[in-house]
Amino acid sequence: MSIEESEATGAPGAGPTDEFVREWRNAAYNCYSSGHKFCREVCPVMQVERNESWTPTAFHANVVAMEKGELSIEEVASDYVNCTQCGACELRCPNTLFTGDFYRFRTRTVDLVKAVRALAVEQGIHQPGYQRWNLLTDERRHEPVLGEFDGDGIPVDQAHVADWAADLDLPIGGETILFVDCEAAFYRTSVPRAVAQILKLAGVEFGLMREQWCCGGPAAEMGYLEQAKRFARHNLDDWRAVGVKRVIVLDPHDYITFTEDYPKYFGEEVDDLEIVLAVELFAELIREGRLRPSVPIERTITYHDPCRLNKRKGIWKEPREVLRAIPGLDFRDVDRVTQWSYCSGGGAGLPVEKPELTAKISGRRLEKAAELEVDTLVSACPWSERPLSQAGDAHAIDVVDIHELLAESLGIEVGGRRGA
C-alpha cells in the first residue's frame, strides 16, 4: 500500500508499537528483502557470539515480525542490548555503501537500535544496568564513571566536573568552549589535560562551560530519550547564555551527539553552532606549523580507528597525520576499511549491561594488535580506552590516547591520570 494509504487507515492499530512499525516499515523491508547479510562478519558482537538473533538482520527482521504480529516488543527488547552502535553494519550494507547516496535512503541500524530501546523504555521495559546508570546520571548530571559509590572517594558531580583543569588556569565561558565528556572529565583526566594544554600552546583561545552536564548521548543510545533531550537543552542554554559560537570536543561520542542528536532535537536553532573535533584541529595546526611535535617517542604503535570517527563519520585521515608527525614512532598501521570490523566494545551502554561481552570484543581487538608486535595501541576515543586497557594487560600492550601522545611529543607535562 502507498504511504498515504497506510497513514490514512492507521492500520493496523494506534499504539506506540504500531506507530513505530509504520515509521520503520520500509527500512525494515529494505533489509529483510535484500538478504545480503554483509553486515554480519563486520559486526563486533557477531564475531564473538555467532548468534544470529543478535545481528543487524535480526534487528530489522524484528520490525517485520512485529508488523505481522509474530513478535512483541517485550520479547525482543533485551536482544537489542547486544550492540555497540559502532555503525559497521549500516556502512557495509550495500543499501548504504552502493546506493544509500543515490536514493538518499540508507540502512540506519544505529538509529533502529536506539529507537527500539526507546520504544521499550516508553513501555516500561527496562534493562536493569541501563536504568540504574541513567538514574544516577540524572541525579548527578554526569555518568557514574567511577562506579556507583565513587571509587577513590572522588565524587562525580557538578562541583568536581572541572577538577581535571584545577591548575590549568582556564577561563569560564567565551566564544569557544572545550566540552569534556564524563569519562575524560573524571576517569581518564590525562586526556582533557593534554588537549587543553595543546590548545594553549597553539594559542587557541577557549574556556570551559559554566555548568557542564553530560552531553546526553549515552542516555539516547540506551533509550532514555526524554532525559537525553533535557540534558541537551541545558547544555545548549548554557552555551547561549555565555555567547558560545564554537564547541571543541575531544571525544568522538560527543562529536556525534552534537552533530547528529542536537540538530535532531533543536533543528535550525543550532544551525550556526560550530562543532570542532580536537584531533582535526590539531592536524591542521601541525600542517600550519603552529604545533611542532619534536620530542621523539620511541614506541612501536598501531592506531585503533574509533568507530564513531571512522565508520560513523568517515574521519580517519587526521589522526594518522598527527601520528606521522610525531618523531620516533614505529607506526604499523591497519587500513581504515579493515578496521570497519574492529571495535573496543565500549559503546552504547554495552559495558554497563554486559561487561563480559565488552571484554570479549576488546580482547579480540587486542589480539589483532598483538599480531603486529606492537607495544602500544593508540586510540582517539576515551570510552574505548578503558576496555582496551583492560584487555591490553594480557598482551603487555599499553593503551594510549592520541592527545596524550601528541602532548608528550610537544614537551608538555600532561599530569592527571590514565584511569584507575
Partner 1 sequence: MSAVATAGGLDDRVLDELASVLGDDHLLTSRPARLHRARVPAPFPVHRWADHVPDCVALPGSTEEVAEVVRIANRFRVPVVPRSGGTGLTDGAVPLRHGILLDLKRLDAIHEIDLEDRTCTVGAGVNMLKLNEVLGRHGLIYPDDPASYPCSLVGGRIGTSGWSLVGSRYGHTRDLVLSFVHVLPTGEVIRAGDGGGAKISKSSTGLNLKHLLMGHQGTLGVATEATLKLYPRPEAELSPFWAFEDYDTAHRTLRELVRADCATFAGAVLFDEEKVAYLRRDDEAYIPQPENVRALVCAVLYGNEDEVRAGGRRLMRIARANGARYLGDEISEGDWAARHDRYATPLHGRTKSGQVIPMSWHCEDAAINWSRLPAVRREWHAIIARLRAKSDVFDDWGMFAYTSGRTGVDYLTEIDVGIWEQELDDETWAMWVQAKREIAAVAVAHGGSISACHGACREGEVDVVPDELGPAYDVMRRLKRTLDPNNVMNPGKYGFDGAFEEDLT
Partner 2 sequence: MTPFRHGEQRTPPSARRVTDVAVMRFEHIYEVDPRLMVDHVRQQPFPNWDTQRIAGSRHDHLAWMHRHWASVVVSGEELLDD
Are the C-beta atoms of 251 and 215 separated by less than 8 Å?
Answer: no
Q: Find which of partner 1, partner 2, none residue 276 binds, CB within 5 to 8 Å per kind.
A: partner 2
From the list partner 2, partner 1, none, which binds 123 (C-beta under 5 to 8 Å, kind-based)?
A: none
Indicate which single residue of 284, 333, 375, 398 sits in contact with partner 2 (rule: CB under 8 A).
284
Choosing from 7, 19, 23, 70, the residue that interacts with partner 1 (CB under 8 A) is 70
Of residues 412, 407, 403, 368, the one with CA closest to residue 385: 403
What x-and-dash track marks residues 19-48 binding partner 1 by CB under 8 A?
Answer: ------xx--xx-xxxxxxx-xx-------
Binder to partner 2 among 41, 52, 274, 371 (CB under 8 A)? 274
Among residues 102, 159, 167, 268, the one that binds partner 1 under rule CB under 8 A: 102
Contacts of residue 234, Cβ cutoff 8 Å, sequence gap at least 6: 211, 213
Cα separation, 113 vs 353, in Å, equals 15
Task: Look up residue 90 and give its three cell numbers.
Answer: 549500516
Question: Which residue in the block uniquely carries the three cell numbers 552555551?
Answer: 239
Q: Which stretch binds partner 2 (CB under 8 A): 45-53, 64-72, 256-264, 374-382?
A: 256-264
| Closer residue to partner 2, CB minimum distance, 132 or 266 | 266
Stretch that binds partner 1, among 16-24, 97-105, 355-363, 378-386 (CB under 8 A): 97-105
Using the rule CB under 8 A, is 50 a contact of partner 1?
A: yes
Task: Identify which of 129, 77, 147 has the alpha carbon closest to the alpha carbon of residue 356.
Answer: 129
- Checking 48-52 for CB contacts under 8 A at 24+ apart, the result is 48/357, 48/360, 48/361, 48/364, 49/82, 49/357, 49/360, 51/82
Q: Decide: 192 and 165 in contact? Cβ < 8 Å.
A: yes
Q: How far apart are CA 301 and CA 329, in angstroms?
A: 7
Given candidates 314, 327, 328, 411, which one binds partner 2 under the rule CB under 8 A? 314
C-alpha cell, 394:
594480557
Which of residues 71 and 136 has its CB atom nearest to partner 1 in the complex?
71
**Does residue 204 belong to the site contacting partner 1 (CB under 8 A)?**
no
Among 338, 393, 411, 420, binds partner 1 (CB under 8 A): 338
The span from the CA of 151 to the CA of 170, in Å, is 26
Q: Quick one: which of 259, 320, 332, 395 contacts partner 2 (CB under 8 A)?
A: 259
Say if residues 380 and 306 touch (Cβ distance below 8 Å).
yes
Q: Does 85 bind partner 1 (CB under 8 A)?
A: no
Q: Is position 101 an interface residue for partner 2 (rule: CB under 8 A)? A: yes
Q: Which is nearer to partner 1, 5 or 169 (CB)?
A: 5
In the complex with partner 2, which residue's Cβ is closer, 199 or 352?
199
411 torsion bin: left (phi>0), alpha (psi -120 to 50), beta (else):
left
Answer yes or no: are the C-beta atoms of 216 and 179 closer than 8 Å: no
Task: State yes or no: residue 18 binds partner 1 (CB under 8 A).
Answer: no
Which of 23, 101, 237, 373 contacts partner 1 by CB under 8 A? 101
Question: Among partner 1, partner 2, none, what does residue 41 contact (CB within 5–8 Å per kind)?
Answer: partner 1
- Asked whether position 335 contacts partner 2 by CB under 8 A, the answer is yes
In the complex, least distance from residue 30 CB atom to partner 2, rounded to whole angstroms: 8
Residue 157, all three cell numbers = 558531580
Residues 39-98 that bind partner 2 (CB under 8 A): 91-92, 96-98
Taking phi over 0 as left and psi of -120 to 50 as alpha, with beta for the rest, 210 belongs to alpha
Which partner in partner 1, partner 2, none is near 75 (CB below 5 to 8 A by kind)? partner 1
The DSSP call for residue 376 is E
Q: Does 74 bind partner 1 (CB under 8 A)?
A: no
Name which position in 141, 160, 234, 246 contacts partner 2 (CB under 8 A). Answer: 246
Give strand ranges (E) for 145-205: 176-179
Nearest to 377 by CA among 338, 318, 323: 323
CB atoms within 10 A of CB 3: 10
Consecutive H or E run containing 397? none
**Complex with partner 1: residue 20 or 262, whichever CB lies closer:** 20
Q: Which residues bind partner 1 (CB under 8 A)?
A: 1, 25-26, 29-30, 32-38, 40-41, 50-53, 55, 57-58, 61-62, 64-65, 68, 70-71, 75-76, 79, 92, 94-95, 97-99, 101-103, 105, 338
